[in-house]
Structure 1
């Protein structure tokens, strides 16, 4: 293994970092660590059932002190050690009771996770379709480190998102969520925390599952198949296990749900700064005035004439309130494409295969190897191609209905401005195929040194993520040529361009109506944008852990390690994408690489034990040096302490410095072009489609975060089975890696910041033709809140119910702040706290489980507090203050929260076989109606799929066996 010795030179000789570490050990609040829970086989099963902060129950230990269950908030492994990092554990029993199609759906219900990327996202150009990425504290998916058995999982996108659906769900023994900065212990990207999937690598026997599900509406059928086997060989010195699984869901096309009511935000046409009316309206039954399925005339005396089936013209009823491109009421459903061809839930096939083998070469030496393969494939229909006006149809166009041509002649019109969402082209077909290949070769063992046992582990890990994307989509130049049609010399419609270039192959496209486009025209207009890319991650790592000596209070534990990692991306895309020729997509392969070399040391120091007012007192500290080839050397550290004055209560406090460096997209993005519609303040807040291009910044610096946690764990001996915890946390990120948003660029340029205007390009008509977005170290972000947890577990034999057990658990997170600052001159902090797409003020999860003999039933309640559309809005309906870009007035800023109830039950016919049934969203509660903001993207659902259940009541049933 080749490593950069600068890491260790700076780590050992970095006097300032060492002095800070030593000084804070003496004087400051201590940072985070984890829990080590010891249990015998029966207690281990109970521990697996935990869903909350494991440290609330981590004092349980087996009498013999064997079979440790290690919770990985720390590198320290020691029986009875209880470290200060709050750690939530989702156990095997809890996973089984939930019976999810995908494990990530259950994990995302934990209150600490907010704003995770879901598999049904339709962000095509960014390549996020089919990706499940976790988001702790809503700090961003790139700031949540995902581990598999303590080893870093690879990114599935060049933007650093880890697709957790690539993990073999059926082998997961538990999921540990470390809710606090953990970069010093586990490496960069752990700004918000760590999610560690722990596999049952010692499984023996044969187990499997067959299950299926469907919604209450009879759509989105799905199934799950899994089979795992494991055995020992060579007289128990060797072990081998294998697993295969497949999940499938059909998806939901369109929006066949009653909750779709065309909810959107629009500017109030009656607003003036002095009349007391709100500038913005949040309304339902909102359609469009400048776009229609078969085209609509957007301006002039013929404005509002749209073209229906066969090209028949009709006059649009504009409704009661009109402000282009929106209207309320009238024929809103005629022009709307929110309930269009795109999928409410994407169809998906996911396959996993996993093999692991280990062999004990000697008593204290084991070699192991494993191979994992995962595939996620989707074939779906996405957004239609929308054009909010700006298309010119000349009087010469032979597809014009005669009545419209005659009216043009009467009025002296030679051209029409038309908008359309091109129903004849339809939703754009998209295919994505992701494959992850994971190879691990390692060795581990133990030895005696300094009179104690030491454990070591060394491994090489290669992860290869291959992903292919295809999008069948109009080519802008071909589309423009094809709609510019005239009558040819022989009386047949031809493209105007063919008159001067007879061999250009252009086929006229009729966009004036539905069901009127020819197959030849559609074939000419459309092309296939594709991307074939590979991300490779190579990791070499070695760790050492032991107890070099003891103090008066117990053994001192030490963990140290080194790691060298290389991240690289390569690939190719079609030639037209490279020059932004398509309406959307325009995929571009990222080519680049960087290396990271790290070294860390962590120590757990007991200071007191079994003393008056100090039943236990421990200090935990870690320091890590990290050297990036892209941005240089950086130091992270962690300090923490736990103090139990009596066995019933334990206080914990932590402080840490964490980092995240630029990922492959941040550094090397060659120019990913996306399309959406925004309001342009330079043209009276008119909304129209804009291109914006994301480019990389190879000189970006790592962002730094300061994390503080303080809390307490209560385990009163006079209430057996009860535990509770409360933790306050605060994460402050500075020099955050971020791109200034399109809306901010437009508004700040309009306000006079000329340094931002240089990134905006405008065409001859004054409209934006492209905006360039580049990540910089401008922003800062602060998130803070309080986590609560309580659990109670009791045997019901005292009530005359033998073999019965009741488990109650409640988890809640009260988010107190989520604010950010762009760093622009004169900018004020903005807050997403309580906003519909930001961070909710409250998320909570309530669970009750009853086991009575062979039957287990479980009831889960999950909820979120009410919120607002935006914290910058001022709600009023009359006597409103003057509206401004930073404090717009709106008639309704409220967003309802939710409370869903889930039910599950299982019955064991025999110890090895059980049947199960579950219902999600038992009351079939619809999502809150949330008017979309004025920026128009591909999906105008009027709901928020990040938090709310948009599918409705769904059922799952099946059986499992474990022999």
Structure 2
């Protein structure tokens, strides 16, 4: 018979528990029903996430958070990310709405300390990672088999090893004795974004219950949604006042004149001096801002399409009491597309006037303008028949930039465990996992081929002088398809002994528990770009050099748990853990991690706990060995601000290559003049920069404290209140200083171009005064052990369950379960230079360029379940408090994102405990980012945009933060599960 909890157990199982919130074990009559238990009945030894010691209770000094499988059903969540990222202690990582940036995966960021600092386990053991950053893709975890998701916040390296600075998330899979098939379909109210899933699993006990085999399979498909399908994301917004903006690389081709000829009377002599555009094919005219900006938004994905096949199984067989063999096998094929607007390309070159005329690419008026400029140039350039220009073109005829990631991942594990004596057991296993990603990019262009084809030095000349002028044959001259690959593998060999001895009880208590063991772990990862990306001769997707590296670590570890209990029932418990790790990396070598905690329960109604943990994280392959790659981060050039019109900043910017006339224009009283100068100094919100690895990196360290209390008053049956304070500090954090921070340090703080902090910006501006794209990117922003991260706050959980004493369906009685889980973020600080205590970015209650995703001061999830026999009616309330922009120097259109609430509703019905049918609607009131209203000049005129984020440099994408705020709208789902 299929093992399944009844609806009456929803008091604990329907609640999303927070990371520092313990599962209320004392409120449960039967501990075998507690989701933190790995295996065994209530009178058997069990294993709790956060320790390797087998115990007879689930109370730990480091509280365990639990998300039960029922929550996934009630939330209509097929992908693990859809529930995990709603936890109050989680800041969303990469999600299904991460198109730019995005890589087709889903990650989790515990406490906002970064996905690389959050360790993910499955059944207490490491899972497979997918790239050189060694991050687990949540898409590879079978949601339909989850028993629970356990979360421990705070360093857990002493128990599990490197990476657990923020904490551990353990996904527990359930054994089956029976079969189930099921499926789910979801669709938005607007009739798009279809998602459907089918799965099947079968398990059976054999050999008189000494063995179990479970096999499973799943297919999942998610359809795309484009940004143009939602009003709030249909336009690229920016500027002050907020208006329809976009890119300065339009499909008509924009030219910047780079010569010294007289522009008077030409199209370059307009409000945007030196700039012109082909308003119609072959015909040049003045360039207008923002009217000639290209709106790239509508052709970008809002929801990425996905197709997934997942197969696997696990089995165990007890050969003898001292030997149980077990194995796990998983294979995942995951295909995710991302789609960006057509390739923007920028080159500086010379145009041959005679060649353009002979090919009929330009009309007579444009020819006359070119010849006028050529005739007034000086020196050898005069009347040479060439015009020096910067070309900015959107290659629409080449199609969109499509990025297909197809990841094939597999993981195999074999192990043996058993009891050596009544008080001593062992567990040994070996696992190997490997992920191979095939990345195919369409829509790229070869910069060298494109340049040669427009200046006449190539075999063929192409016509870029107007929208739609490129024929398919012309496109074939420069268009390239890039094929890249990633290969990552992990090996772990682990052996552990655990048991108990002695009895320190003054009355009755458990024996002292211990665990000792050793582990060998090896990681390797490679990124293999094709020749175009590796050489840098590419426009479209970012170029990057190959990455190849790995390392191994040998570890020994130990844990100890000592309980004390008096005859009156007063209980004390002390625990300790330590691990020594010897890395093959010379920069890390041998390191210690350790932990200690205490619990004190003066009476059964109340329990206090405190825990300290010291954790480490060794640098990953990307941080150590990544080849140089070009990126385009959002940043504001200080020389494009009005502050650069005078004083030291003006002098600095002029010395750095910004035209003094433009700097004077920044001080104009005419907003149009100021805007024109800003657009020339910084024509785009993104600035090219180099990123790469640093083989000299050492380990990060963290110190975490938790203090908590659990109240279960006997005079209020069914009530549990848990509060935990957390404080985590990460030192020597590996950080790639952001381009914005580097610019601010150089131009606003140091203000000395000869200083080391400014070296990367010298000689990096092009002839227009702006930071150029390749071959003039800003400096390598490689990682270093220089930063500090600090987070602190309180998690509060309240659970209350009551028997209502009546039934609407005639079942005699019904239950009402109420739960609240909230987090108060007291501190969320980032110190880019830990040696400078005055340089701290405070992100609690903030969002923006420095802080990224919003970190609300208060975040909570509340759920109410009415359970009447086979019927469950459930509603969920998700809340984020308001957040403020983190830039104190600039007033954006939206300086504050208002408080945000979502209501979800679910109805579930069991038919004879064989068939469960569930329907629901998420975002019941269709709460979406506000749709802007525009005047005739394209300026936003309504001021009710609670989620539109002012300057487009601040928004992650889509004019909002789509991983934090819902972008689908009212969303319906229906699912059915049949059990045999």
TM-score when normalising by structure 1: 0.84
Q: 1:308 to 1:359 in 2, by over 3 A?
A: farther
Please state how far the C-alpha of 1:363 moved relative to its aligned partner.
2.5
SS at match of 1:161: coil
Q: 1:610 to 1:309 in 2, by over 3 A?
A: farther
Q: Which of 841, 844, 854 is matched with 1:830 structurally? A: 841
SS at match of 2:55: coil
Does the 8 Å CA contact 1:311/1:514 hold for their aligned counterparts? no
Q: Which of 756, 779, 787 is matched with 1:779 structurally? A: 787
Instruction: Confirm whether residue 51 of structure 1 aligns to residue 16 of structure 2.
Output: yes
User: How does 1:711-790 map onto structure 2 within 5 Å?
Assistant: 711-750=708-747, 751-752=751-752, 754-760=755-761, 762=764, 765=767, 767-768=771-772, 769-770=776-777, 771-790=779-798
Does the 8 Å CA contact 2:445/2:479 hold for their aligned counterparts? yes
Please state how far the C-alpha of 1:292 moved relative to its aligned partner.
2.4
Please state how far the C-alpha of 1:348 moved relative to its aligned partner.
0.6
Instruction: Confirm whether residue 470 of structure 1 aligns to residue 440 of structure 2.
Output: yes
Please state how far the C-alpha of 1:857 moved relative to its aligned partner.
1.5
Does the 8 Å CA contact 1:593/1:664 hold for their aligned counterparts? yes
Q: Give, in whole Å, the separation in 1 of the partners of 2:224 and 2:234.
A: 21
Q: Give, in whole Å, the separation in 2 of the partners of 1:134 and 1:646.
A: 38
* Larger CA deviation: 801-810 vs 365-374: 801-810
Does the 8 Å CA contact 1:567/1:595 hold for their aligned counterparts? yes
Please state how far the C-alpha of 1:607 moved relative to its aligned partner.
2.9
Instruction: Confirm whether residue 845 of structure 1 aligns to residue 802 of structure 2.
Output: no
**What is the aligned partner in structure 2 of residue 617 from structure 1?**
572
Q: Cα deviations across residues 785-831 of structure 1 (Å, max 9, x unaligned)?
A: 11111111122225786252211111111111111222287661112
Q: Tell me, which stretches of 5 or more residues in structure 1 are unaligned? A: 1-38, 267-280, 319-326, 485-495, 499-505, 874-886
Does the 8 Å CA contact 2:596/2:612 hold for their aligned counterparts? yes
Q: 1:230 to 1:810 in 2, by over 3 A?
A: same
Please state how far the C-alpha of 1:197 moved relative to its aligned partner.
0.1
Does the 8 Å CA contact 2:952/2:959 hold for their aligned counterparts? no
Q: Give, in whole Å, the separation in 1 of the partners of 2:372 and 2:196.
A: 62
Q: 1:831 to 1:509 in 2, by over 3 A?
A: farther
Does the 8 Å CA contact 1:679/1:934 hold for their aligned counterparts? no
Does the 8 Å CA contact 2:7/2:870 hold for their aligned counterparts? no
**What is the aligned partner in structure 1 of residue 942 from structure 2?**
none
Does the 8 Å CA contact 1:468/1:530 hold for their aligned counterparts? yes
**What is the aligned partner in structure 2 of residue 461 from structure 1?**
431
Q: 1:317 to 1:476 in 2, by over 3 A?
A: closer
User: How does 1:301-320 map onto structure 2 within 5 Å?
Assistant: 301-302=269-270, 303=272, 306-307=277-278, 318=289
Does the 8 Å CA contact 1:294/1:311 hold for their aligned counterparts? no
User: How does 1:94-113 map onto structure 2 within 5 Å?
Assistant: 94-113=71-90
Please state how far the C-alpha of 1:562 moved relative to its aligned partner.
1.2
Does the 8 Å CA contact 2:575/2:596 hold for their aligned counterparts? yes
Q: 1:49 to 1:560 in 2, by over 3 A?
A: farther
Q: Which of 403, 409, 413 is matched with 1:436 structurally? A: 409
Please state how far the C-alpha of 1:45 moved relative to its aligned partner.
7.0
Please state how far the C-alpha of 1:394 moved relative to its aligned partner.
5.8
**What is the aligned partner in structure 2 of residue 556 from structure 1?**
512
**What is the aligned partner in structure 1 of residue 906 from structure 2?**
904
Q: Which of 199, 206, 229 is matched with 2:179 structurally? A: 206
SS at match of 1:601: strand
**What is the aligned partner in structure 2 of residue 163 from structure 1?**
137
**What is the aligned partner in structure 2 of residue 502 from structure 1?**
none
Please state how far the C-alpha of 1:221 moved relative to its aligned partner.
1.2
* Larger CA deviation: 294-303 vs 425-434: 294-303
Q: Cα deviations across residues 266-310 of structure 1 (Å, max 9, x unaligned)?
A: 4xxxxxxxxxxxxxx3x4323158332322355731557544575
Instruction: Confirm whether residue 542 of structure 1 aligns to residue 544 of structure 2.
Output: no
Does the 8 Å CA contact 2:723/2:796 hold for their aligned counterparts? yes
Q: Cα deviations across residues 684-728 of structure 1 (Å, max 9, x unaligned)?
A: 673245432222112211011110111111111111111011111
Q: Cα deviations across residues 648-705 of structure 1 (Å, max 9, x unaligned)?
A: 1111111111111100101111222223454433446732454322221122110111
Instruction: Confirm whether residue 629 of structure 1 aligns to residue 584 of structure 2.
Output: yes
**What is the aligned partner in structure 2 of residue 404 from structure 1?**
366
Q: Give, in whole Å, the separation in 2 of the partners of 1:643 and 1:734.
A: 31
Please state how far the C-alpha of 1:424 moved relative to its aligned partner.
2.6
Please state how far the C-alpha of 1:407 moved relative to its aligned partner.
4.6
Q: 1:416 to 1:791 in 2, by over 3 A?
A: same
Does the 8 Å CA contact 2:237/2:246 hold for their aligned counterparts? no
Does the 8 Å CA contact 2:251/2:467 hold for their aligned counterparts? yes
Q: Cα deviations across residues 450-495 of structure 1 (Å, max 9, x unaligned)?
A: xx422221000001011111212111112222233xxxxxxxxxxx
Q: 1:679 to 1:93 in 2, by over 3 A?
A: closer
**What is the aligned partner in structure 1 of residue 828 from structure 2?**
818
Please state how far the C-alpha of 1:855 moved relative to its aligned partner.
1.8
Does the 8 Å CA contact 1:188/1:659 hold for their aligned counterparts? yes
Q: Give, in whole Å, the separation in 1 of the partners of 2:10 and 2:878.
A: 25
Q: Which of 949, 973, 977 is matched with 1:931 structurally? A: 949
Q: 1:726 to 1:393 in 2, by over 3 A?
A: farther
SS at match of 1:607: strand
Does the 8 Å CA contact 1:530/1:587 hold for their aligned counterparts? no
Please state how far the C-alpha of 1:522 moved relative to its aligned partner.
1.4
Q: 1:531 to 1:803 in 2, by over 3 A?
A: farther
Q: 1:456 to 1:739 in 2, by over 3 A?
A: same
User: How does 1:276-291 map onto structure 2 within 5 Å?
Assistant: 281=240, 283-288=241-246, 290-291=248-249
Q: Give, in whole Å, the separation in 1 of the partners of 2:351 and 2:137.
A: 46
Q: Which of 860, 863, 867 is matched with 2:883 structurally? A: 867
SS at match of 1:340: helix
Q: Which of 192, 195, 198 is matched with 1:225 structurally? A: 198
User: How does 1:142-157 map onto structure 2 within 5 Å?
Assistant: 142-157=116-131
Report how many residues are paired: 855
Does the 8 Å CA contact 1:703/1:734 hold for their aligned counterparts? yes
Q: Give, in whole Å, the separation in 1 of the partners of 2:696 and 2:757.
A: 19
**What is the aligned partner in structure 1 of residue 225 from structure 2?**
252
Please state how far the C-alpha of 1:422 moved relative to its aligned partner.
3.0
Q: Give, in whole Å, the separation in 2 of the partners of 1:890 and 1:78.
A: 56
Q: 1:69 to 1:347 in 2, by over 3 A?
A: farther
Q: Give, in whole Å, the separation in 1 of the partners of 2:463 and 2:104.
A: 34
Q: Which of 829, 854, 863 is matched with 2:870 structurally? A: 854
Please state how far the C-alpha of 1:211 moved relative to its aligned partner.
1.5
**What is the aligned partner in structure 1 of residue 30 from structure 2?**
62
Q: Give, in whole Å, the separation in 2 of the partners of 1:208 and 1:587.
A: 44
Does the 8 Å CA contact 1:238/1:360 hold for their aligned counterparts? yes
Q: Which of 608, 612, 624 is matched with 1:651 structurally? A: 608
Q: Give, in whole Å, the separation in 2 of the partners of 1:287 and 1:159.
A: 34
SS at match of 1:114: strand
Please state how far the C-alpha of 1:889 moved relative to its aligned partner.
5.0
**What is the aligned partner in structure 1 of residue 398 from structure 2?**
425
Task: Tell me the C-alpha RMSD between the 2 structures.
Answer: 2.8
Does the 8 Å CA contact 2:490/2:524 hold for their aligned counterparts? yes
TM-score when normalising by structure 2: 0.82
SS at match of 1:155: coil
SS at match of 2:231: coil
Does the 8 Å CA contact 1:820/1:829 hold for their aligned counterparts? yes
Please state how far the C-alpha of 1:241 moved relative to its aligned partner.
1.1
**What is the aligned partner in structure 2 of residue 86 from structure 1?**
63
SS at match of 2:111: coil
Q: Tell me, which stretches of 5 or more residues in structure 2 are unaligned? A: 32-40, 258-267, 377-386, 640-652, 664-677, 848-852, 930-945
**What is the aligned partner in structure 2 of residue 607 from structure 1?**
564
Q: Which of 809, 812, 816 is matched with 2:819 structurally? A: 809
Please state how far the C-alpha of 1:96 moved relative to its aligned partner.
1.5
